[in-house]
A and B are shown apart, each in its own frame.
Chain A
Amino acid sequence: MQKNIICVACPMGCGVTVDIADNGEILSVTGNTCKRGDTYARAECTHPVRSLATTVKINGGIYNVVPCKSAGSLPKEKIAECMKVINSVQIDAPVKLGDVLVENILDTGINIVATNHCPAK
């Protein structure tokens, strides 16, 4: 079976074709222009992953929320559940860029980290 996907690893958006055998084995990946494209295409055909960027509520900061991201890729099917966890968290200011806000979210081994500073009010 052939699967055509568009790589989202970077803004190039390469069209990648993956040849998959009946037993699910990936025979070839073509059309990608870099190694990240190969990795992305293989993951997309076996266990799709996405990075997540959102915000976390802050108590006593100069802003109400601080932006955050997953420090690695999360399983695509767990994104909605991760959002619920992140939206239930409140962090006290100050927050520094890189601070871990949620550790090992949903046992994925991935931390949610702040992507900006939020000084205390």
Chain B
Amino acid sequence: MLNYDIVVIGGGPAGMAAALKARECGVESILILERAETLGGILEQCIHTGFGLHYFGEELSGPEYADRFIRLVDEQKIEYKTDTMALEITENNVVYAVNKKDGLLEIQAKAIILAMGCRERPRGALNIAGSRASGVMSAGTAQKYVNIDGYMPGKKVVILGSGDIGLIMARRMTLEGAEVKCVCELMPYSSGLTRNIVQCLDDFNIPLHLSCTVVGIHGKDRVEGVTIAKVDENRKPIPGTEEYIECDTLLLSVGLIPENELTRAVGINLDPVTSGAIVDEYRETSRKGVFACGNVLHVHDLVDYVTLESQTAGEGAARYVLGKTDTAEYITTKGVNGVRYIVPQKVNIKNDGDVKLYFRVGQVYKNAKTVVKYNGEEIISKKRPRLAPGEMENVIIKNDMLKNFAEGGTIEISVEV
């Protein structure tokens, strides 16, 4: 059995930032486990720029953003194992993992940081009628084919879902010579960043059909076309609005799901809205010594925020290992009236710092206010010209405010129009 103070599961931006912060806080013995051949996670295939504007004040591509952290991991001599799959974590913080070189690994950790990221919702979750012709794949799969393997998976493309990956791939496929016929979005708004609608669709005159979905896939061996249709306010296809579009490829960008198999199996409590663990302000889960950060905790739109959140988790894990934890008196947080969720879901009021609450709204609002209430009493109110589900919001609860709260209290964040 191997022994480490902290085992980090996942070597993407979350895992690397958490490990580096834990090292900075004084923990020597750290091991990162990574499933892929290299550190970097999904950033390795996100070759477009726009990463790092908040964190580095520069516009970097995904691989460049990852490289800065990979270099730091090497400089800090933090140990990592790539090509290594974590299989299980136990109630006693033992991590089982496997790779070709070491075989089965049994690792005793004092603290574990979960940083497994998320995966794309697959076709099977959508129940689209039609054949099983080839040419239907997730946008992220196409991204890997094009950007890592140098292989174009299609020539005439329809994209279902206007999340950021779908929008980015509309541009990428167009640049490489494919004809992107349209992007269909089930909801009446896009869940992608506005800048991506402008620079990925509008720049190339790619139509975005809102309140529209794919109702049929045609073709025997290869996709030959899809049928799209308008949907009503209940997201049901409206008969008579069907339209056939000839294409050889259908890309799906229909949502991301945190990869929480390990978390669930060990009995850690999950939030049904985020599909990630329920955590406190240091991102400690319902199990002592187990922390979670990045897209495995809740899906982020910006890697910069993943980095910041993961540093918090890394600091939390280091404090736990070094025995520096505060006494705990928790209040809970709750999103109401338009706010879908808040992370963290609970906050220790004995914590000696400020606490940043991240939250996401459920629909688009214009000229609205976000209001924070403690036990029903308004404590913070922020005017927001625009709120959108695709853009994560945050609010800081100052420590002097926290000090006035009492154990068992509730913070609610709502949208007021």
Contact = CB atoms under 8 A, between A and B. Distances in A.
Q: Which of A13, A15, A51, A97 has the most CB of B within 10 A?
A: A13
A54 B197 CA distance: 19
- Interface magnitude class on chain A: 20 to 34
Interface in B177-214: 193-195, 197-199, 203
A55 B176 CA distance: 10
Contacts of A83: 175-176
A24 interface: no
Contact of B49 (A51, A87, A97): A51
A79 B391 CA distance: 28
B360 to A, nearest CB: 15
A12 B194 CA distance: 8
- Interface magnitude class on chain B: 20 to 34
B48 interface: yes
B195 A6 contact: yes
A32 interface: no
Nearest to A97: B67
B59 interface: yes
Contacts of A50: 199, 203
Interface string B37-54: 000000010011110010
B44 to A, nearest CB: 7
Contact of A53 (B49, B67, B198): B49
Nearest to A83: B175
Nearest to A33: B385
B150 A76 contact: no
A14 to B, nearest CB: 9
Nearest to A64: B150
Contacts of B203: 50, 76
B5 interface: no
Contact of B53 (A6, A10, A53): A10
B269 interface: no
Nearest to B148: A63
Given A97-B67, A115-B64, A116-B44, A11 B195 contact: yes
Given A6-B198, A13-B193, A76-B203, A115 B150 contact: no
A53 B63 CA distance: 11
B64 A97 contact: yes
Leading 7 A-B pairs by shortest Cβ distance: A13-B194, A65-B150, A67-B47, A116-B63, A64-B150, A8-B195, A115-B61
Interface of B: 44, 47-50, 53, 59-61, 63-64, 67, 146-151, 172, 175-176, 193-195, 197-199, 203, 301-302, 386, 391
